[in-house]
Amino acid sequence: MSKRIKNISGVEQSIVFNGKQLTIGKRDEMEMDDEVADTFLDRCEGFVVEAIEIGGIVEEDEESVIWVANMTGDPDARATVPQKVLVGKGSWGTQEVTNPLKEAREIRRQMQGAMVEQMGKAGLEGLNLLPITISVPPYQRRKLPTHIGKWFLQRSAMGTPGAVIKSRAKSNFEPDLKWELDDMRVYLQLVDSSVTGHDLGATFKKLKSEVSRQRKGGEEELRKKVRAAKEILMKRLHKRLADPRYRLPSKSEFDEFKAANVEAPEVAVVESQAAEPSQGVNL
């Protein structure tokens, strides 16, 4: 028996089935065996649905909080982007300008304080509360009250579109800089099956081989290279961890895929305590 399913998200979705990564493209519909389709529907709940048109309205509960994420500092963003400019009387053209999403920066907005009423000597008086400053460092997510979060998203969109997005909360299973390098590479591949070898970067084994050939620096040089590789991976992971269009793999999926596709790793380098995470990268 087969079943038709549809990816309703704007990105490719994937599952691990019998040790293999299976994908369905963004907005695509596919006919597949019931067992595979049911696995997609179960693991990609909210992203993949059975392709049956049924009328109705889904009511969403009002959220008490909103998570927002700073999306600046994208290592894969273009260095420049086209911008519409006035080139003459009533004539418009485009020119390349620096991409504001390329450089990592803190997003900071100041919200005027609310007015509250209080009883004074002359009767009921209005009191303006102090302004509120909301900031989100690069590569970070922050939880805000709903009304403040919506305001922050609106104000940020008026500045640099895409610099701040409504994100998901931190999940129970996602990488940080304490993970092994090769495990981070596996996780990125599962989150986004479209990533390239360039996006994944070198394995620990390859970095170790490079240091051995150079015959200088030893363990300290290897530690630096591993650290640098982890940081660039963490930046690439951040935009996918924060963006709710990407489905995050469960630990069981991760373990199954890793066992079926990844060689047994060599003993990894233990980073020295002196090598502290760079500001804003550790989620």
pLDDT tens per residue, range 241-280 = 999 999 999 999 999 999 988 765 554 444 443 343 333 3
pLDDT at 61: 55
Q: For the chain, what is the mean pLDDT?
A: 83
pLDDT at 63: 58
pLDDT at 282: 37
- 14 to 203, 209, 257, 283: CA distances (angstroms): 23, 32, 12, 24
Identify the weakest region by mean pLDDT among 26-30, 109-113, 217-221: 109-113
pLDDT at 281: 39
CB atoms within 10 A of CB 149: 20
Residue 23 CA to its chain's centroid (Å): 19
Do 50 and 5 touch, CB atoms closer than 8 A? yes
pLDDT at 84: 83
Q: How much is the average pLDDT of 227-252? A: 95
Distance between CA 136 and CA 211 in Å, rounded?
A: 37
pLDDT at 123: 61
pLDDT reading at 97 higher than 50: yes
Distance between CA 129 and CA 75 in Å, rounded?
A: 40
Q: How much is the average pLDDT of 53-57? A: 55
Identify the weakest region by mean pLDDT among 46-55, 93-102, 193-202: 46-55
CB atoms within 10 A of CB 9: 18
Q: Quick: pLDDT tens for 66-93.
A: 999 999 999 999 999 888 887 777 788 8
Confidence of residue 189 (pLDDT cuts 50, 70, 90): very high
Do 79 and 125 touch, CB atoms closer than 8 A? no
Q: Quick: pLDDT tens for 114-145.
A: 555 555 666 666 556 567 888 999 999 999 99
Do 110 and 139 touch, CB atoms closer than 8 A? no
pLDDT at 91: 81
Query: Which one of 144-148, 174-178, 277-281 scores highest in mean pLDDT?
Result: 174-178
* Domain spans of the chain, in order of start: 2-50, 65-167, 181-261
